[in-house]
Amino acid sequence: MDSEIKNEEQVKNKDEIKKNTDAKTIHLKKSEGTASLYEWVHSLVFAVAVVVILLTFFVRLVDVSGTSMKQTLQNNDKVIVTNFFYTPKQGDIVVISHGAEYSEPIIKRVIATEGQSLDIDFKTESVIVDGKELDESYIQGHTHQEDGEIPKVIPEGKVFVMGDNRGVSMDSRSKAIGLIDVKDIIGKAQFVVFPFNSMKFLG
């Protein structure tokens, strides 16, 4: 009888041990699953934060509106614009928050920067910077005169910009745009990313 009781107790103990072990295993699996889910959510939040910071401070996606930069850029092109430690240089294509009397963002090419001399011969349609005529194979249309004043030397903190489609572009030749304050330059256009058949590096 004592032997039977001992056997029953041993079986009960084994069952209890097995139940406790199973419970611990289930709890462990739940803990591991919770930890994995937490790590996945944490990684996702971190990735989103990085993308937001990049898009806010370093990189922007900008839609081109209008034909003032044709043939280099077309209406509705999407371009990547960067501004990290950016200093405007002659020849750069830049996005500008506004002009002198124009409140909308515009995209133009930098023709001359502060301290550079500038002369535009509207008869020959030649643009001369620091005594050298620019090779502007990218332009379309005629470089005509507008109502703005063309400075002999670009003042400190300013740039002179024009669109590549000179016949229709409203730019620094116009009083509405005028010389652009460097602080009003959002960044440099680097790549055309859409439409896909027009993807290219802008230099």
For residues 101 and 165, membership in a common domain is answered with yes
- Listing DSSP states for 103-124 in one string gives -S-EEEEEEEETT-BEEEETTT
The arithmetic mean of pLDDT across residues 83-107, rounded, is 95
Quote the pLDDT of residue 25: 52
Site of tokens 């029953």: 8
Domain of residue 188, CATH code: 2.10.109.10
For residues 170 and 117, membership in a common domain is answered with yes
Token pair for 170: 């409203």
Report the amino acid identity of residue 147.
D
Report the first-to-last Cα separation within the chain, whole angstroms.
95
The model's pLDDT over 40-75, given as tens digits with 9 standing for 90+, comes to 776 776 666 655 555 555 688 999 999 999 999 999
Q: For the chain, what percentages of helix, strand and coil (3-state, to nearest 5) are there?
A: 30, 25, 40
User: Quick check: is 31 catalytic?
Assistant: no
The model's pLDDT over 15-24, given as tens digits with 9 standing for 90+, comes to 554 445 555 5
Q: How far apart are CA 38 and CA 35, in angstroms?
A: 5
Catalytic residue among 3, 14, 30, 108: 108
Report the domain count for the chain.
2
Does the structure show a pLDDT above 50 at 6?
A: no
User: Quick check: is 68 catalytic?
Assistant: yes
Among 101, 113, 104, smallest CA distance to 148 is for: 101
- Better-scored residue on pLDDT, 15 or 187: 187
For residues 137 and 80, membership in a common domain is answered with yes
For residues 27 and 72, membership in a common domain is answered with no
Q: How far apart are CA 61 and CA 42, in angstroms?
A: 26
Catalytic residue among 12, 24, 43, 68: 68
Domain that holds residue 42: 1-60
Quote the pLDDT of residue 31: 59
Quote the pLDDT of residue 44: 74
For residues 83 and 138, membership in a common domain is answered with yes
